[in-house]
Amino acid sequence: MCLGCGSLQVSVPHPLFHGGLCTPCKNNFLEVFFLYDEDGSQSFCAVCCAGERLVICEDPSCARCYCLQCLDALLSPGSALRVLALDWWICFLCLPEERHGVLQRREGWRGHIKRLYDREAGHFGLQRPVSPWKRLPILVLSLYTDITPELEQLGFLGRSAAGAQSS
C-alpha cells in the first residue's frame, strides 16, 4: 500500500518505512524530500511529502517533519493530538523502536534513499558532464569597472543604450 495516499498501485518501496509509494507520490517524494525551511527543518512530511500542519523532530541531529494526517492515519486515531501535547517529541527514525503503528522503520533507510534517487535520476533531467577539453571559458564581469563594453559584446546592451548611458 502507498504510505502517501493509501493507493494499492505501488511502484517503488518507500525508502524510510516498510510500505510503498505509488507513481504520483514517488514523483512528489523525489521533488520535495530534500527541501528545507529557513529553520533547517524539512518543508514537507517525511512519509507523504505533503501535509499542512507538521510536527518537527526535536532531536538536534534530525530535521524531519511529519504531518498530523499521517500520524492519525498510520499510528492510531488521536496520535496527532497526543504528539502535539508533548513538550518534546522524537520522530520514528530517531527512536530505538522499529515499529510505531503501521510505520515500521526500514533497515538501512539512508541507503534506500540514495538508491531511489540513483534509480530515478532521469526524473530530474540531469545533464552529462562536459569533457574538460570541450568546455568553453567562463566570462566574468567585474563589479569594480565599467562593464558596458562587455555587456555590449554579450548582446545585453545595444549600441544606442550604451551611448545613452555614457552621456
Sequence-distant (≥ 6) Cβ neighbours of residue 30 within 8 angstroms: 116, 117, 120, 123, 124
pLDDT tens track for 125-145: 556 677 777 877 776 766 667
Q: Where are the domains of the chain?
A: 10-124, 129-167
Sequence-distant (≥ 6) Cβ neighbours of residue 48 within 8 angstroms: 3, 4, 5, 25, 67, 69, 70
Average pLDDT for consecutive 10-residue bins of the chain (167 residues)? 88 91 90 85 89 88 90 88 90 84 87 86 62 76 73 74 49
pTM of the model: 0.66
- For residues 16 and 105, the answer to whether their CB atoms sit within 8 Å is yes
DSSP state of 97: -
Radius of gyration of the chain (CA): 24
